[in-house]
Amino acid sequence: MERNKIIRITTVPVSLKGLLKGQLNYINNFYNVIGISSNDNGVLESVAEQENIQVIPVELTRKITPIQDLKSLWVLYRVLKKEKPYIVHTHTPKAGTIGMIASYLARVPHRLHTIAGLPLLEATGKKRILLNFVEKITYKFATKIYPNSFGLQQIILDHKFTKQNKLKVLGNGSSNGINTSIFNPDLISANQKNELRNSLDIKKTDYVFIFLGRIVADKGINELVTAFCKLNKENKNTKLLLVGTFEEELDPLDTTTVSKIKENKDIIVTGWQTDVKPYLSIANTLTFPSYREGFPNVVMQAGAMGLPSIVTNINGCNEIIIEEVNGTIIPVKNSDILYKKMLSFYLDKTGKYNTTHCRQLIIDRYSQSYIWKEILEEYNSLSK
């Protein structure tokens, strides 16, 4: 019996490769899965090998590019007419808009879109009006919308982008869960930790704050650097690890922040890292002062590695973190409170945040196997 076909679409292939790692391969055991995305430097081909699925390149851009978007819509429509999928499931904003419209035109019966954050929340003026309109279009052509957190679902309802009956949060939230067998502090040896510390000029007695992600303004990096520099001036045995890459074109940092990063030897920028576990293993606390998120993987990753987190009071973050249990929640865009919380973590001598407890909370609520089964059950319910 021929299996139903599911097409998963993202704007860029790194989302298929990283954010949905393992999930496509799992679903492919039950459905015929095809991945569609742009083909940046051959990354899409590596997705095919990693997930053991067929892939089809369709060029999509992250920016507002009307002419290219129309071309992408036409190409994707033709692909869908040829492949005749039972389900199209999109992730990321541009893939969602183009994918849902193309799927509707191609008469795909089930058009699903996962929301993992709303970039438009930081936009203003005419750009915000345009993005609001585009968001509503995406939801209109979808048959089901999956916010990956309960907070995000409420934001969608508050903005009246769609109605409650189109919305559903799968499990406890998250798009892919966390593989807690891989994100396990016991797998990083003492020798590995020592070698990494030595390579980064970090002493074992240093208190290390870590940030994982794009080093951009809307991740709260301006506030984080300001808070850390104040803390570091008073307490020299502190380090800030920034694990990620800058995006000067899309969301640049303040020039003063860039200067502070370059001038302060205790702020260490590692660049993009395929494996972040060793970096988490030498850190004491995750600092994640983002302005907006869907359901941040890095907070789950840090928790699975036994780290407490300082996060902002935004959807996703305020669901993963329970106040004074596995971390603390602070207001958005407030470097003063961020500094005070970082200082309190640094000064804590009681071991308030137990490594084992931080890890167990993630295992219980967000393990990858649980999330995958929830997604599969949702697909199966559509097939009935």
Whether 106 and 165 map to the same domain: the answer is yes
Residue 253 sits at φ, ψ, to 5 deg, of -80, 160
Domains in the chain, number = 2
Whether 90 and 239 map to the same domain: the answer is no
Whether 266 and 133 map to the same domain: the answer is no
Whether 204 and 157 map to the same domain: the answer is no
CATH value at residue 16: 3.40.50.2000
Whether 279 and 146 map to the same domain: the answer is no
* Nearest-angstrom CA–CA distance, 218 and 119: 9
Q: What is the pLDDT of residue 255?
A: 96
Whether 155 and 210 map to the same domain: the answer is no
Whether 379 and 334 map to the same domain: the answer is no
Residue 221 tokens read as: 């990096």
Cβ contacts of residue 83 below 8 Å, gap of 6+?
5, 7, 34, 56
Q: CB count, 10 Å around CB of 187?
A: 13
Q: What is the pLDDT of residue 1?
A: 62
How confident is the model over 287-302, as pLDDT tens digits? 999 998 878 899 999 9
Q: What is the pLDDT of residue 121?
A: 75
Among 11, 8, 6, which Cα is nearest to 39's?
Answer: 11
Q: What is the pLDDT of residue 384?
A: 60
* Nearest-angstrom CA–CA distance, 192 and 41: 31
Q: What is the pLDDT of residue 11?
A: 95
Q: What is the pLDDT of residue 139?
A: 97
Residue 331 tokens read as: 């207001």
Q: What is the pLDDT of residue 366?
A: 94
User: Positive or negative, the Cα torsion across 217, 222, 228, 232?
Assistant: positive
Whether 268 and 372 map to the same domain: the answer is no
Whether 42 and 163 map to the same domain: the answer is yes
Whether 77 and 109 map to the same domain: the answer is yes
Whether 208 and 335 map to the same domain: the answer is yes
262-269, long-range: CB < 8 A, 24+ apart: 264/229, 264/232, 265/201, 266/232, 266/236, 266/238, 266/239, 266/240, 267/225, 267/228, 267/229, 267/232, 267/239, 267/240, 267/242, 268/200, 268/201, 268/202, 268/239, 268/240, 268/241, 268/242, 269/215, 269/242
Residue ranges of the chain whose pLDDT lies below 70: 1, 384
Length of the chain: 384
Q: What is the pLDDT of residue 65?
A: 87
Q: Which domain holds residue 72?
A: 5-177+367-383
Whether 362 and 224 map to the same domain: the answer is yes
Cβ contacts of residue 333 below 8 Å, gap of 6+?
220, 223, 291
How confident is the model over 179-225, as pLDDT tens digits? 999 999 999 999 999 999 999 999 999 999 999 999 999 999 999 99
Task: Report pTM.
Answer: 0.79
